[in-house]
Amino acid sequence: MSGIWALVPIKELAEAKTRLAPVLDAAGRRELVLAMARDVLTALAETTAISHVVVVSDIEGIDRLLSVDKVSVFDPRPARGLNDQLERACARARVAGASQVLIAHADLPAITPQAVRTFLDPGLDTRSLRIAANQEGTGTNLLLAFLPLPTPLQFGKDSRLNFEAAAARREIQVEIRRDPLLAADIDEPADLAELARSVSGGGFANKATARWLAEAGPLEAPRQPITHTGSIR
């Protein structure tokens, strides 16, 4: 299947969203991660420009835990680390006929198919990268690139800046998009509180995360002051 393949990495659930520990126990964090991932995967699967949606994860039974139609799973082992895992998934997608990849993080509960379509339009130049920045502007929530990848992946601290530096060394253009629906990742208790306010105000379209919030009830107040340090992408 040719065209754009969307890759969504999901790491070990026990290690996910530990910065939310002041307001959520391990079980709550696990269910929140799965709910947000369902919303991201559903938005991608409903975007007609994307021909294939793939979860990149070595979690046993992740497909059953997510239960989203039109989504497959790629186990990146023996790759280690996010960038190595995603580069391995990109190589597999290319072999299977993909011409471009859209790498999207799984903690973007405000994402919509329209936001994804807008991000993909217009088409990408073959010597370019397109990034949807996080709220702070230093991270990368979505990345669109042609295959083979024109530069090694740079996800991690200050990834947007690192992508730009790596692209400059190869004379590749980087286009930065800023969309609040794609920037709203959930890493800190303050992010979760803002998400809850958005849902209660009726300004939230996605169903899985909203349903999780309704079932979770009022969130416990943080037991210590919150310092918003930003996302690591």
The whole-number mean pLDDT for each consecutive block of 10 residues of the chain, a chain of 233 residues, reads: 87 90 92 96 96 97 94 94 97 96 96 96 92 95 97 95 96 96 94 86 76 77 38 45
How far is it, in rounded angstroms, from Cα 5 to Cα 145?
A: 10
Give me the phi and psi of 42, to 5 degrees please. Answer: -65, -45
Per-residue pLDDT, 219: 66
Per-residue pLDDT, 15: 84
In degrees, to the nearest 5, what angle opens at C-alpha 185 toward C-alphas 126 and 150? 20
> In the chain, where are the structural domains located?
3-216
Burial of residue 180 (CB within 10 Å: 0-12, 13-18, 19+) is exposed
Per-residue pLDDT, 221: 46
How far is it, in rounded angstroms, from Cα 72 to Cα 86?
A: 15
Paired tokens of 7: 């890759």
How far is it, in rounded angstroms, from Cα 86 to Cα 122?
A: 24
Provide the whole-model pTM.
0.90
Q: Which residues contact 209 (CB under 8 A, 6 or more apart)?
A: 32, 35, 36, 38, 39, 109, 195, 199
Per-residue pLDDT, 228: 33
H or E element, residue 26: helix 26-45
Question: What is the topology classification, in CATH, of domain 3-216?
Answer: Spore Coat Polysaccharide Biosynthesis Protein SpsA; Chain A (3.90.550)
